[in-house]
Structure 1
């Protein structure tokens, strides 16, 4: 199966493409063969370039915890330097961002979740985005 040759909706930015990709993943999970259904949906909706842009957008929101752990290990016992302070602040910010994303994903319908998610450029339901990478090649 090949990707579209022309965009179904030209002019979409990476955020919109990522939202559409995660949205389609949500629909595909109800099919008897979710991976095949997602593959079909992606190839019907995206050009190859759009698909890779959407994946890159989602991948950019992943936290590089291994790199941060390596930086912290390199600091050793140093807890007073600017680098140690920055690493601690980054770890705290990531934890708070994770909590915010979880709350958006787990919220009911009392608020406009799209409005909230768009405020931090978060694609609702994308916390499991590795499933997209592994499914569609």
Structure 2
């Protein structure tokens, strides 16, 4: 049991409107990643890339120190995966995240462990897809 509650429509809309940035790319839900500078290796074009956070579980604001500790714990859970630090942002709201190369199934387990509502999936460089962990997609 994850303890996740369904996400209300206002929160879901905020996730869909946010800009997700990490590892030299920016992506929005429904759009392909755009390089923020020289394309480099194109690391995001191979397999599943999941934008995942441990901060502010359930979309509820937590103290910065608490969020930093949770993000360090998440980094430990992502050991062995290629990962890039970044942030998700909508207006003044921003929170830290990682873009990690790992299968969606594993990302779901990790995100649930950290009380997250959703992850953003980029598969083979395609458009970003919001994946809610409460089962709605």
Q: Same fold (TM over 0.5)?
A: no
**Structure (1 or 2) with the larger CA radius of gyration:** 1
The TM-score normalised by the length of structure 2 is: 0.23
Between structures 1 and 2, the one with greater helix share: 1
The TM-score normalised by the length of structure 1 is: 0.23
